[in-house]
Each structure stands twice: as structure tokens, then as C-alpha cells.
């Protein structure tokens, strides 16, 4: 059993965080490893100059922005609160669970739609140097939310995504949500934090494993829905996948009267976190490449409504 030590002071989180700030950065740095040079050159013109053309450095922005007066409207875009009862029942419905103000599924869809136009503006020479904030925000949101939707507790409504479930990790009293955001990734890597400027060794090893197809399921399965002309359907599929993990593992192990760092809970969660982070990174890199290369149906319908009429119980996105 791997038992790692962590510093509690580095893991204080707010309710919107999905993965700690530096974990989000690392997902972005991982995704950059899968971008082709042309995609990178286009994205560099969309991001504001302070990010030096790096989506890894920009990926964590959305959490801080959601806590500003200007950005508070985006606070609820970071999750979708399922009305289910894990571990007894896992079920997520887009119509039922995505609020009128939006959720992570609708946000991915809407911001992908905006990002398409921004990429076209770069192609036509009408956008350079990150001068259009709407476009830079869209890229930063897409990069962030593809990470958010991979965190199981951001596709679960039980106890506000686990924020109201008190647990102990490494002798520290915290919440279940915080355990998945940071405690488990840090413990897995045996560190107290990751770089926010460049890819860290733990994530470099995950990139290598992706390229070697060295996971419990084929990496090709992760890309079964990565068509930017169907962003709502893909985002919902990713959320449903994360939601299932709350029944399969997150809530299916003892949480009370035990230390999750040493009870075996963390050890069993390590491969899940590695898998979900790796999925987010590969999907993000693939998503951005396909957007820039126009590897999608340009006439495909983008659903911008929060609750589209076709999303009912008989459809793939309910």
C-alpha cells in the first residue's frame, strides 16, 4: 500500500474547484503535448499575452474568475448536479439536472461554439495577440471545463458534490470534494503541489502512458465522442461517464470513521484519478486540434439552449 504524506495548508478549496488550480494547469500542459504545431499557432493568437501562448498556464483561470463580481454568473458552469442517490443509483439527466443558468455540459457546448468563430477570425487575420477577450475567455473556459467534467464529483449532486461530506485524509479534517480535487492527486504523486508554469514529472509519465495505451481501457475509447460539431452530446457523455464513478467507487467505499489516506480508499482511487485526468488531457488536445483543423461538420447544429427539446429519455442526452 502506498501511504504518502501531504501538507494540509496547500489544499484549501472553494466549492467551485474541480481539481486544484495546479492540477488544472497540469491537465492543460498535458493537452499541449497532443497539439499539432498549427493548432498551437492559432491558439497563441487567441490567448491574452500574459499566458505566453500556453493553455496550461491559462487553464485554471476560470475558477478565480467565477469568484469575482464580474464573473459570478459563471459560478454554476463548473458542474452538473445530478438528482440521483449514489451508490444505490447513479443517473444524470440533462433536462432535469442542468439549471437554467447553465452547467458544465451547456458551458462546454456554448463556449465551443464561440471558439469556432474565434478560430475563423484568426484564420482570416482579424484576430491577433489575444485582443478579443470573448475569444480568450472561450478558450480558457473550454480548456477548464473539459477538466471539470472529468472530476466525478462535478457530475454528482449528492451533498453538493461531496462538499458537505466531512472526511479525514492524512489526519486532516476536510471534505470529500477536496479529497478528489487535490488530496488524492498529490498523494498519488507524493508531492504537496505541482508547477503552474510547466508540466510536472507525474503528468509527463501520464502522457507517456497515453501514448503507450497503458491504461485499464483503450485510449481509443476515450475519443469515441470528440466531434466539435456535437459538443452538447459529447459533453453529456463525458458527464455521464464521470457520474457513474460515484456509484462504482467514490461513494461505494467507507467514508466515515476512517482515514481515507490509509484505509485503502486513496490507493483504490489513484488509478481512477490518473485515468480521468488523462482522459481530460487527451480529449482537450484532440478537441482543439479538430476545431482548428475543421475536422467536424461545419454545418452541424450546435444546441445552445440549456434544455433542448430533443434531450428526453429516449435520446442519448437526457
pTM of the entire predicted model? 0.90
Q: What does the domain layout of the chain look like in residue ranges?
A: 18-293
pLDDT at 9 over 70: no
Instruction: Provide the pLDDT confidence category of residue 90 given band limits of 50, 70 and 90.
Output: very high
DSSP calls for 177-194: HHIIIIIHHHHHHT-S--
- The answer to whether the Cα torsion of 44, 49, 55, 61 is positive or negative is negative
Spatial CA neighbour of 27 closest among 295, 291, 274:
274
Could you tell me how far CA 298 lies from the centroid of its own chain?
Answer: 25
10-36 pLDDT, tens digit per residue, is 333 334 457 999 999 999 999 999 999
Could you tell me how far CA 245 lies from the centroid of its own chain?
Answer: 15
Q: What integer pLDDT is reported at residue 21 of this predicted model?
A: 96
167-216 pLDDT, tens digit per residue, is 999 999 999 999 999 999 999 999 999 999 999 999 999 999 999 999 99
* 66 φψ region: left (φ > 0), alpha (ψ -120 to 50), beta (else): alpha
Please compute the mean of the pLDDT values over residues 116-131 and round it to a whole number.
Answer: 97
C-alpha cell at 155: 457530475
Q: What angle do CA 138, 143, 149 make, to 5 degrees?
A: 115
236-253 pLDDT, tens digit per residue, is 999 999 999 999 999 999
What is 18-293's CATH number? 1.10.575.10
Considering the chain, what is the average pLDDT of its residues?
90
pLDDT at 290 over 70: yes
Instruction: Identify any residues that bridge with 85 across adjacent strands, giving them in sequence order.
Output: 89
Q: What integer pLDDT is reported at residue 299 of this predicted model?
A: 65
CA distances from 77 to 104, 211, 234, 273 (A): 5, 31, 16, 22
Amino acid at each position: 500500500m502506498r501511504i504518502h504524506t501531504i501538507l494540509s495548508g496547500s489544499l484549501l478549496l472553494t466549492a467551485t474547484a474541480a481539481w486544484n488550480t495546479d492540477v488544472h494547469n497540469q491537465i492543460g500542459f498535458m493537452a499541449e503535448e497532443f497539439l499539432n504545431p498549427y493548432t498551437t499557432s492559432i491558439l497563441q493568437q487567441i490567448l491574452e499575452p500574459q499566458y505566453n501562448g500556453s493553455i496550461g498556464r491559462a487553464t485554471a483561470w476560470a475558477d478565480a474568475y467565477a469568484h469575482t463580481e464580474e464573473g459570478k454568473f459563471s459560478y454554476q458552469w463548473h458542474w452538473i448536479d445530478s438528482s440521483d442517490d449514489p451508490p444505490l443509483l447513479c443517473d444524470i439527466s440533462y433536462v432535469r439536472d442542468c439549471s437554467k443558468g447553465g452547467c458544465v455540459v451547456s458551458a462546454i457546448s456554448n463556449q465551443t461554439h464561440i471558439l469556432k468563430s474565434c478560430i475563423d477570425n484568426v484564420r482570416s487575420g482579424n484576430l491577433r495577440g489575444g485582443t478579443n477577450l470573448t475569444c480568450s475567455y472561450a478558450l480558457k473556459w473550454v480548456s477548464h471545463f473539459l477538466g471539470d467534467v472529468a472530476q466525478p464529483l462535478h457530475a454528482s449532486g449528492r451533498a453538493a458534490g461531496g462538499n458537505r461530506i466531512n472526511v479525514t485524509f492524512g489526519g486532516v479534517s476536510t471534505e470529500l470534494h477536496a479529497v478528489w480535487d487535490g488530496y488524492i492527486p498529490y498523494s498519488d504523486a507524493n508531492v504537496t503541489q505541482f508547477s503552474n508554469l510547466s508540466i510536472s514529472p507525474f503528468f509527463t509519465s501520464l502522457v507517456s502512458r497515453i501514448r503507450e495505451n497503458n491504461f485499464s481501457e483503450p485510449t481509443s475509447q476515450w475519443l469515441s465522442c470528440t466531434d466539435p460539431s456535437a459538443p452538447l452530446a459529447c459533453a453529456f457523455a463525458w458527464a455521464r461517464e464521470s457520474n457513474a464513478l460515484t456509484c462504482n467507487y467514490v461513494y461505494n467505499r467507507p467514508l466515515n470513521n476512517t482515514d481515507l489516506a490509509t484505509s485503502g480508499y486513496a490507493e483504490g482511487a489513484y488509478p481512477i484519478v490518473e485515468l480521468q485526468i488523462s482522459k481530460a488531457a487527451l480529449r482537450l488536445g484532440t478537441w482543439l486540434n479538430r476545431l482548428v483543423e475543421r475536422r467536424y461538420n461545419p454545418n452541424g447544429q450546435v444546441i445552445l439552449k440549456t434544455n433542448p427539446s430533443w434531450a428526453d429519455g429516449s435520446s442519448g442526452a437526457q
